[in-house]
């Protein structure tokens, strides 16, 4: 069975500090990993995916197959980064995503 674990329910950092949101997964094959974000009173939206190897809004995430991790990082947090962040996995040919329980990121001024 596939599983996504986000160990932190809540993460609070000061503006300008580095941010790392942890995500670990369990899957026997080669998964596709994603980060979704939900800002206050907005819809859930895709932030980035590992295949693209891109930086979005200053965030990056590297898939580490050895550690089965896909941590989300940003070197300098901004107040507008405050949101709920969900790590998600797609595998096994099914298109439904398996989500972690989410991390509430709060950036303090």
Partner 1 sequence: GAGVSQSPSNKVTEKGKDVELRCDPISGHTALYWYRQSLGQGLEFLIYFQGNSAPDKSGLPSDRFSAERTGGSVSTLTIQRTQQEDSAVYLCASSSQGISYNEQFFGPGTRLTVL
Residue from 35, 49, 71, 77 binding partner 1 (CB under 8 A): 49
Residue from 15, 22, 90, 104 binding partner 1 (CB under 8 A): 90
H helices of the chain, where? Answer: none
State yes or no: residue 39 binds partner 1 (CB under 8 A). no
Round to whole Å and give the CA distance between 68 and 26. 7
Considering beta carbons, is residue 94 or 109 the nearer one to partner 1?
Answer: 94
Round to whole Å and give the CA distance between 89 and 98. 5
Considering beta carbons, is residue 49 or 74 the nearer one to partner 1?
Answer: 49
State yes or no: residue 71 binds partner 1 (CB under 8 A). no
Nearest CA to 31 out of 98, 85, 102 is that of 98
CA 30 to chain centre: 18
User: What residue ranges bind partner 1 (CB under 8 A)?
Assistant: 32, 43-46, 49, 51, 86, 88, 90, 94-102
């Amino acid at each position: 069975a596939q599983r996504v674990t986000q160990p932190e329910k809540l993460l609070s950092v000061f503006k300008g500090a580095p941010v790392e949101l942890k995500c670990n997964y369990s899957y026997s094959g080669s998964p596709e990993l994603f980060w979704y974000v939900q800002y206050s009173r907005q819809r859930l939206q895709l932030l980035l995916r590992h295949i693209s190897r891109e930086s979005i809004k200053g965030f990056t995430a590297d898939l580490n197959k050895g550690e089965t991790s896909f941590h989300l990082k940003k070197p300098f947090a901004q107040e507008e980064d405050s949101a709920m962040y969900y790590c998600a996995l797609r595998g096994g040919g099914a298109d439904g995503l398996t989500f972690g329980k989410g991390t509430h990121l709060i950036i303090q001024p």
